[in-house]
């Protein structure tokens, strides 16, 4: 069976979605900021502004204890000075920012109007109608600063996100960032723009999530600069990356790092947009999709393109759905690269069989049901069922059988299994779009599969699981069960 071919095609990254607010990081070092109020909330804002290097002037007739303590002890950076009088319009002239904690709506409106008339960005605490900017939750690894905003919709959610990020970013990241800042002039002076500089910063970034820099780190980095500068041309290389079944959260950390370091990404049709969104924005993206029964890129064209880009000195990421080493034709690509002396590494991914087992809540090797798992392909190079399969072994009741790309040949495959001794009541599960919102599942028996194949309602490609290990946990007969979609399940849960 012959299918139409297509050429690899460059694609654009998804455009930036709508932003509730534009995140902007202001340089406030040495700049005057007006704070009108002496409350605890105003004291927190004053301390935050001073930490950013601002010279904060607080106007308050009767400041609270927290504000008094802040003024007396000083700030880590910048200054906080108290003027024991009410604010007036003249104090706003030339200020970088204006913040107030107003006791009434009228006072808030008066302060906001005065600030806008003076051309000063204004924030009135807890009164969003009078705010031209907002403060977010902050993760401080200065000079690395992460800010989170929920546009005022859910401040507690912002704080929860901050706590999660705090656990991901080691405190030593601040030391690495300061060291990186010190190295910028050296790198700019001694390394060529483009590949050389990126090679240095990628190496430093990899180390930044490890132990803190030591006394020898600066000299190590200096030696790294010399080594990179001595390389006239950076050799290209290819990283074959498993994108998993579709859910971006199932990517490995190593896969994410590869996507962030890529110059070019050659990706398959089945790779989700959520996964591609994790890639470096500047990376060129090229669709090299291969789909059964549809127009596909020839494997030879993909091999040629991959090798050509690598010979140009590019870091090429070959992004494949699932695990590239399971029916992903990675072996052919590795052989081609090796024949041309091009370096290649492989980052494994979660194969669809593992994602299916997780979604079903079953073990493919449950000791009461299976002694082995066998992965097979449901179609040969001609598109038909392979004619050299070990049907007797596949029909073993102690084996869980996982069939990739078997949607069109499922009925014939089930018939052959029955002929070689498999039980007619053997459970069968077919799933598509595993781990994605549009995931669909069909459960039945081997006899039913032999009679009617996979229902048309199931989108291709499908993954088929056969074996007693896949028997539903409630032990209710599943023969002829309709296709269940994730949306239907959610609707039923909501109705309950």
Q: Catalytic residue positions?
A: 268, 290
CB 353 within 8 A of CB 402: yes
Q: Which of 261, 298, 296, 290 is nearest to 278 (CA)?
A: 261
Question: Residues 268-271: contacts with CB within 8 Å, 24+ apart?
Answer: 268/243, 268/319, 268/320, 268/321, 270/246, 270/321, 270/322, 270/461, 271/243, 271/319, 271/320, 271/321
Cβ count near 95 (within 10 Å): 22
| Distance, CA of 103 to CA of 64 (rounded, Å) | 14
Task: Report the sign of the C-alpha dihedral through residues 349, 353, 356, 362, in that order.
Answer: negative
CB 67 within 8 A of CB 42: yes
CB 450 within 8 A of CB 416: no
| Distance, CA of 417 to CA of 411 (rounded, Å) | 10
Tokens 């690509």 found at:
333
DSSP 107: H
| Distance, CA of 366 to CA of 354 (rounded, Å) | 14
Helix ranges (DSSP H) in 7-91: 40-51, 65-73
| Distance, CA of 363 to CA of 384 (rounded, Å) | 30
Q: Which of 84, 88, 136 is nearest to 111 (CA)?
A: 88
Helix ranges (DSSP H) in 130-194: 155-168, 173-190
51 class by beta-carbon count within 10 Å (0-12 exposed, 13-18 middle, 19+ buried): middle
Query: How far does Cα 258 stand from its chain's mean position?
Result: 12
| Distance, CA of 395 to CA of 398 (rounded, Å) | 9
In SS3 terms, 184-246 reads as HHHHHHHCCCCHHHHHHHHHHHHHHCCCCCCCCHHHHHHHHHHHHHHCCCCCCEEEEEECECC
Structure tokens at 465: 């699981």
User: How far is the CA of 124 from the CAs of 45, 61, 102, 405, in angstroms?
Assistant: 11, 18, 7, 60
């Amino acid at each position: 069976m012959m299918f139409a071919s297509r050429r690899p095609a460059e694609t654009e990254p998804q455009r930036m979605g709508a932003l509730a607010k534009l995140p902007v990081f202001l340089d406030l070092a040495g700049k005057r900021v007006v704070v009108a109020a002496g409350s605890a909330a105003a004291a927190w804002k004053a301390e935050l502004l001073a930490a950013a290097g601002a010279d904060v002037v607080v106007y308050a007739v009767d400041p609270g204890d927290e504000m008094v303590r802040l003024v007396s002890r000083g700030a880590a950076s910048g200054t906080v000075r108290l003027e024991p009088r009410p604010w007036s319009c003249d104090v706003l002239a030339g200020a970088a920012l204006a913040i107030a904690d107003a006791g009434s709506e009228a006072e808030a409106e008066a302060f906001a109007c005065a600030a806008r008339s003076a051309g000063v960005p204004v924030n009135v605490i807890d009164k969003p109608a009078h705010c031209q900017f907002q403060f977010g939750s902050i993760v401080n690894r200065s000079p690395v600063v992460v800010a989170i905003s929920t546009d005022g919709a859910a401040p507690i959610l912002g704080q929860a996100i901050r706590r999660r990020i705090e656990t991901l970013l080691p405190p030593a990241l601040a030391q690495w960032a300061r060291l990186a800042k010190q190295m910028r002039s050296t790198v700019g002076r001694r390394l060529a723009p483009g590949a050389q500089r990126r090679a240095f910063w990628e190496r430093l970034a990899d180390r930044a999530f490890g132990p803190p820099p030591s006394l020898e780190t600066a000299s190590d980095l200096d030696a790294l600069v010399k080594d990179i500068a001595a390389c006239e041309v950076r050799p290209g290389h290819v990283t074959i990356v498993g994108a998993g079944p579709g859910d971006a959260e199932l990517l490995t950390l190593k896969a994410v790092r590869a996507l962030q370091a890529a110059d070019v990404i050659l990706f398959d049709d089945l790779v989700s947009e959520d996964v591609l969104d994790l890639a470096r924005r500047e990376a060129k993206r090229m669709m090299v999709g291969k789909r059964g029964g549809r127009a596909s890129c020839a494997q030879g064209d993909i091999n040629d393109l991959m090798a050509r880009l690598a010979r140009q000195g590019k870091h090429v990421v070959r992004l494949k759905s699932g695990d590239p080493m399971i029916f992903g034709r990675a072996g052919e690509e590795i052989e081609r690269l090796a024949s041309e002396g091009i370096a290649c590494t492989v980052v494994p991914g979660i194969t669809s069989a593992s994602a299916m087992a997780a979604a079903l809540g079953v073990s493919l090797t449950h000791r009461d049901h299976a002694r082995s798992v066998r992965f097979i392909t449901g179609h040969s190079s001609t598109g038909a069922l392979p004619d050299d399969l070990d049907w007797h072994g596949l029909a073993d009741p102690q084996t869980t059988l996982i069939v990739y790309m078997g949607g069109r040949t499922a009925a014939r495959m089930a018939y052959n299994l029955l002929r070689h001794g498999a039980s007619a009541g053997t459970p069968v599960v077919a799933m598509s779009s595993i781990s994605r919102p549009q995931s669909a599942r069909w459960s039945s028996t081997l006899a039913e599969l032999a009679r009617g194949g996979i229902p048309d309602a199931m989108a291709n490609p499908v993954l088929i699981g056969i074996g007693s290990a896949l028997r539903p946990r409630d032990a209710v007969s599943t023969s002829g069960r309709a296709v269940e979609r994730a949306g239907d399940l959610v609707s039923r849960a909501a109705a309950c």
